[in-house]
Chains A and B, each alone.
Chain A
Amino acid sequence: MNTPARSSVRAEKLIKTYGSGRTEVTALRGVDLDLASGSFTAIVGPSGSGKSSLMHCLAGLDRPSSGRVFLGDEELTGRPDRELTRIRRDRIGFVFQSFNLLPTLTAGENIALPADLAGRTIDRDWFDAVVTSLGLTDRLRHRPSELSGGQQQRVAIARALIGRPEAVFADEPTGALDSRTAAQLLSFLRTCAQESGQTVVMVTHDPIAAGYADRVLVLADGAVVRDLDRPTTDDVLDALREHEPVTA
């Protein structure tokens, strides 16, 4: 719907190496990408292919060894930690595979946390809308230890959406969920991209999960090897098989 697509998340010649000398590992070897506003992109690839490293660099959680990363028209690379932290807080939402929530806070407090940290007042109507659509209305006063894994992930998504961030990054968000709960969650992520114009980037190794995305980037050995537009689950599986180093 957003045509011509405005660029939201962009990377140029991204290189990431860990360690040095003999133990040096290159996780990303020159990745270029450009993700449009309101798109839902899945990054897939075998384990060790560099998916997490790519996401960390794109989301301002880690610094690439070289290359540049942009969020909207602002460059993330080369900024001091204070500014990166503020950008994460104000403009990016996160959903992690596990351990998403602070155990000392209730679900409601966890959802409000980024806004709270920024000192922003929360849009009550939007809060209610998000919480209702995720089915969390009567769970807000519970602590994470009193919630199921699926509920915890939904709380994390609510938190990622409540500040209407430009970009939402999710690292294996369905990894710890059963397939039915996972399906609900993925549909919700797609709705976010479509209806709120948010850029959703999801890292996964699950072809079914990737099937929910508009666009799928296949990563192998630190480089983007395929760029699939609205693929089916089977397309993704084929692409993955093609680049699997060892047959699973």
Chain B
Amino acid sequence: MIRLALAELRRHPGRVVAVLLAVMISVGFLGGSSVFLATESQALGRAATAALGQADVVVQPNGEIRPTAQVLATLRSTPGVDAVAPRYRASADFRIGTGTTAPSGSLDLTSAADDPRFAPGRLVSGRWPTGPDEVALAVDTASRTRLGLGSSLTLSGIGGGARTRDVTVVGTVDAGRSLLGGLRDSGFAAPALFAGDPAFSYLVAARGGTDPATVAATVQRTLGSDVEVQTAAAVRADTVRSLGHGVDVFRIIALVFGAIALLVGAMIIVNTFAILVVQRRRQIGLLRVVGADAGTVRRSLLVEATVVGAVGALLGVGLSLAAGAAATAITGSLSAGLAVPWPTVLGCAAGGLVVTVLAAAVPTRAALAVSPLEALRPVADEAAVARSGRVRVALATALAVVGAGLVTLGLTTDGQSLLLAVGGSLLLAVAVLLLARTLLPPLIRLVGQVAGLLGPVGRLATANALRNPGRAAVTCTALMLAVGMIVTLQVGSSSVRQTVIAQLNARYPVDLTVTALEPGAVVPDRTLAALRAVPGVRVAVPVAAAPATVGRAGAPKSERTTMLVEGPGADAAPATRSGLGDLSDSAVLATRFTLRANGWDVGDRITVRIGDRSTTLPVRSSNLGDDNTLVVTRATLLRLDPALATRSGTAAVWASVPDIDASPGVAAAVRGLTAAGTGLSAGGSLAETASYTTLLGVLVSIATALLGVAVLIALIGVGNTLGLSVLERTRESALLRALGLHRRQLRAMLVVEAVLLALVAALVGVAVGTGFGWLGTLAITRQSGLGSAEFAMSATRTLTVVAVAVLAGALASALPARRAARATPVEALADE
């Protein structure tokens, strides 16, 4: 029997290519992500190790900070200590060149001690910095910023202070690097650059032959409880462990998406073997006639599945290694070497093999039903009538009822909204999958009506898509599952974003404000012009503003503060979301935060004084201005400072950025325009809108890419089902050709069939995904008390998914269609 199975595989390798690919991709995905994570963890460990050099003990102040020199002296005289170096750390903004468009960013600076034993990395080129005007850069930072030996840059805000320094790059350093450790730019400087800062930690080298733990204990005793003393080994382990939580999250995500890919793969395997059994009915019947019993026939099919599964799993292992290496090469962690967690990778391969055999076992049961007599009867198309249909529908209904109940409970009660809704949705999803076989054929018929308008080719394609409902349903279900999940994520993330932004909008009536901080300063005209030129900024209106002394009427001088007072005129209304409604000549407006911070109550009379003029008005709560800013009418402000009317330039600009998707770009441009040193500050909802948009955008992109694997497998399934069907229909194709169907029409027929299946699957996926995405948003909103949920979906993104599915479906039919078109009319007449 094994010989028979192998012969079958050798003769028709094409029939199992889809199974091979499905297993390979699923195993490759699961194994690849574990290789990726292991390599990243290893790189993380190397980076943690590199940072400490050859230090044996690390001393970290954690109480009162003592003078560095004193700590150093104490440490040096502690028994067992060979050498000590202080380690400084600071972050700084850097700018390359001058001008508003000069590349800039922020840099994590670490001190490099003179003693090479405490080097924070491996020098790649140049030398370590020795003076306060020199830095060395991590190699990846150097390549990203295109800075090399001898380049100069300006550091500002070193350690949060106001210090600014022009420095020269004197070296590049390999300090290890890992996606999980964050991908921040980092540099190294001599201790002199940190002059005045307290040391972040002290690195201690123990005298040869001394146990680091003993030295650590001695140091702890000597320095007391103001410092935390750990051996270097313990610090490294801590770093890896704390960042390891990131690894766990990644691992869970990878597992979930891998499982989805494997599930979709399993459906395709079931389908492939189901079709193989149908195609081999005669052969199986013949085997039965010559004396093979049903079990033998079934075992032969399982041997075939095992061989295919094993080859696919092996290829998957290869793919794991390649994908893991490729991904870590991109993050840069590969330089620390590829780490292969063999037990996990081989476990994934074994999993793929087991799933293949199990998935193949389902349809091979049908082989048992082939009686010896069947060898002589032609294959009946309607053979696969849903016998277990009623049971399935009943089960699906039960699951749907329970699922709907859980979802309703989750959405109407507080506490476990999310958990209940997710659990309920899972049950609903299983119900939908179970019902697919019942629901899809009528849908295919419906969409087929449209295809029928294309003429006989469309009608024939529809009839073909429907001739085996079980096969069509499984093919569609795989694609439906993948598309459904992508759309769930898309709708869920769009809606959550919309909900959060609705809250933000209520809080911030103005999307973006740019204000000059210093008294008398203005927003430069070129900044206003630059802002107006940023794509996504609809209007940017100058708003008169001036710093004023404010306080409760009659309050002593000590309780007064200086605050920017903005005086928007009527022309500022277009920059706000709903006009200047709250604004009147008889009040000053303050945010709730401003009220609380100053101990004012609504209705308190506030005196606003600029120079020697002042006015006293009741304060009202409004969101119109930023925190720590007061808003009055332009008229009121001009009465306080008439010079504003004639002065060129204003201290504030209000702008509106209506397109949420443009917000990340605008925010980045605004960051450049208001960078440290410009004396400008940005406010409004833009920054938060931008960060939500970016975050959710990244999450959706990653998830879509991961689910793309499932879509790919599903489409291989579409191609495979068609390919096998085409084999079955060779004589039919030839007959159609004899009767006058053009080769082109025959190809078109297959393409229409594929598009029909893909379209129906994608449409159901979109419908179901939209529902689940919305349910998820409702649950998240309820769970986190965000108020009322707002529905949102991006038509372009969703239509893109549908278009990709349909296009790929058409593409998947290309090979089978070519094969079908090769059928010559003569074959229809050939004796069987």
Contact = CB atoms under 8 A, between A and B. Distances in A.
B739 A113 contact: yes
A243 interface: no
Interface stretch (A6-14, A86-94, A129-137, A208-216): A86-94
A100 B735 contact: yes
B741 interface: yes
Classify the secondary structure of B's interface with A: helix
B738 interface: yes
Contact of B743 (A81, A88, A104, A145): A81
Interface residues of A, number: 30
Which of A81, A85, A97, A171 has the most CB atoms of chain B within a 10 A radius of its CB?
Answer: A85
Contacts of B740: 85-86, 88-90, 114, 117-118
Nearest to B461: A104
7 contacts: A62-B824, A88-B738, A97-B831, A99-B832, A102-B736, A113-B739, A117-B745
Contacts, number: 77
Contacts of A94: 738-739
A164 B174 CA distance: 85
Interface residues of B, number: 29
A105 B741 CA distance: 15
Interface of B: 380-382, 455-456, 460, 463-464, 466-467, 731-732, 735-743, 745, 824-826, 828-829, 831-832
A52 interface: yes
A81 B737 CA distance: 10
A19 interface: no
Contact of A89 (B731, B739, B831): B739
A147 interface: no
Interface in A23-51: none
Nearest to B742: A85
B464 to A, nearest CB: 6
Interface of A: 52, 56, 61-62, 81-82, 85-86, 88-90, 94, 96-100, 102-105, 113-114, 116-119, 145, 159, 171
A104 B737 contact: no
Given A99-B735, A113-B739, A117-B740, 14 more contacts: A52-B829, A56-B829, A61-B826, A82-B742, A85-B740, A85-B742, A96-B829, A99-B731, A99-B732, A102-B460, A102-B732, A102-B735, A104-B381, A105-B460
A159 B832 CA distance: 23
Contacts of B466: 104
B456 A116 contact: yes
Nearest to B831: A97
Contact of A104 (B380, B463, B731, B825): B463
Contact of A117 (B463, B467, B731, B739): B739
A145 B382 contact: yes
Given A103-B732, A116-B456, A117-B456, A61 B741 contact: no
Given A81-B743, A145-B380, A104 B735 contact: no
Contacts of B737: 85
Nearest to B464: A104
B828 A114 contact: no
Contacts of B824: 61-62
B738 A61 contact: yes
B278 to A, nearest CB: 13
A59 B138 CA distance: 79
Contact of A61 (B464, B732, B829, B832): B829
B739 A114 contact: yes
Nearest to B467: A104
A85 B463 CA distance: 23
A118 B745 CA distance: 12
Contacts of B825: 61-62, 88
A86 B739 CA distance: 9
A96 B743 contact: no
A96 B828 contact: yes
Contacts of A119: 455
Contacts of A90: 740
Contacts of A56: 826, 829
Contacts of B463: 102, 104-105
